[in-house]
Structure 1
Amino acid sequence: MTTEVEETVTVRGECAPGFEEVARAFAQNFRDGTQTGAGVSVYLRGREVVNLWGGFADEAAGRPWERDTLAVLASPTKSVAAGALFVLIERGVLELDAPIARYWPEFAAAGKESVTLRMLLAQRTGVVALDSDPITYEKLRTGRPVVEALAAARPEWAPGTAHGYHAMTFGHMVSEVVRRVTGSTVGRFFAEEIAGPLGLECFIGLPEDRLPRLATMVPSKAEVLMDGGAAGQVTELLAALGDPSSLTFRATIGSMSFDADTGDDAKRVRLENASYDGVADAGSLARYFAALIGEVDGVRLAGPALVDQIRREHSAGRCRTMLMDTSWGLGMMLPDGPLYPASAGPLGSFGLAGATGSFACAVPGQQLAFAYVPGGGSHVVDRLDPRARRVAEAVHRSAAAH
Structure 2
Amino acid sequence: MDEQTILIEGECAPAFAAVRQAFEQNFRRRGELGAAVCVYKDGEKVVDLWGGFKDIEKTQPWREDTIVIMNSVAKSMSAICTHILIDRGRIDFDAPVAAYWPEFAQAGKENVLVRHVLSHTDGVIFCDAAPPGSWFDWETHIRALEVQEPAWEPGTRGAYNSINIGFLLGEIVRRVTGRSIGTFLREELSGPLRADYQIGLTPDEIARVSDMHKNPKNGFFRIAQDTTTPLGRAFKSAPPFGYFQNCREIREREVPSFGGHGNARAVARIYAALAGDGIVDGVRILSPAAVERAAGLVWEGDCIMTQRRIRMGYGFMHNEPDTAPMGENLAAFGHTGTGGAFAWCDRARNMAFAYCPNFQREGPGIGPRGAAVSVAAGGGPRPRWLD
Same fold (TM over 0.5): yes
Q: 2:332, 2:260 → 1: CA distance?
A: 22
The answer for the alignment partner of 2:161 in structure 1 is 166
The answer for the alignment partner of 1:363 in structure 2 is 346
Matches within 5 A, 1:124-139: 124-134=121-131, 136=133, 139=134
The answer for the alignment partner of 1:77 in structure 2 is 74
Q: CA RMSD in A?
A: 2.1
Q: Partner of 2:15: helix, strand, or coil?
A: coil
The Cα shift of 1:397 comes to: 3.4
Residues 244, 254 of structure 1: 8 Å contact kept: yes
Q: Partner of 1:7: helix, strand, or coil?
A: helix
Are 2:246 and 1:264 aligned?
yes
Are 2:304 and 1:298 aligned?
no
Amino acid at match of 2:21: R
Q: Partner of 2:281: helix, strand, or coil?
A: coil
The Cα shift of 1:385 comes to: 1.3
Task: Give the length in aligned residue pairs.
Answer: 378
Matches within 5 A, 1:341-380: 341=325, 344=327, 346-380=329-363
Residues 293, 300 of structure 1: 8 Å contact kept: no
- TM-score, length basis structure 2: 0.92
1:206-242 deviations in whole A, cap 9, x for unaligned? 1111112101211121xx246xxxxxxx9xx96x656
The Cα shift of 1:79 comes to: 0.7
The Cα shift of 1:17 comes to: 2.3
The Cα shift of 1:9 comes to: 1.6
Say if 1:188 and 1:345 are closer, same or farther in 2 by CA, change over 3 A: farther
Are 2:80 and 1:97 aligned?
no
1:284-335 deviations in whole A, cap 9, x for unaligned? 0100111123221211222222222222211122323223321111100012
Are 2:193 and 1:198 aligned?
yes
Are 2:9 and 1:12 aligned?
yes
Q: 1:372, 1:9 → 2: CA distance?
A: 18
1:248-277 deviations in whole A, cap 9, x for unaligned? 3212x3232331586633442211000111
Residues 130, 140 of structure 2: 8 Å contact kept: no
Say if 1:116 and 1:185 are closer, same or farther in 2 by CA, change over 3 A: same
- TM-score, length basis structure 1: 0.89
Structure 1, unmatched stretches of 5+, are 227-233
Amino acid at match of 2:188: E
Amino acid at match of 1:122: S
1:14-65 deviations in whole A, cap 9, x for unaligned? 1112111110010000001421000011111111111000000224361101
Q: 1:8, 1:123 → 2: CA distance?
A: 44
Q: Partner of 1:35: helix, strand, or coil?
A: coil
Q: 1:243, 1:15 → 2: CA distance?
A: 42
Q: 1:355, 1:43 → 2: CA distance?
A: 23
Residues 40, 371 of structure 1: 8 Å contact kept: yes
Say if 1:69 and 1:330 are closer, same or farther in 2 by CA, change over 3 A: same
Residues 211, 245 of structure 2: 8 Å contact kept: no
Task: Choose the corresponding residue for 2:312, options 305, 311, 328.
Answer: 328
Structure 2, unmatched stretches of 5+, are 381-387
Residues 136, 249 of structure 2: 8 Å contact kept: no
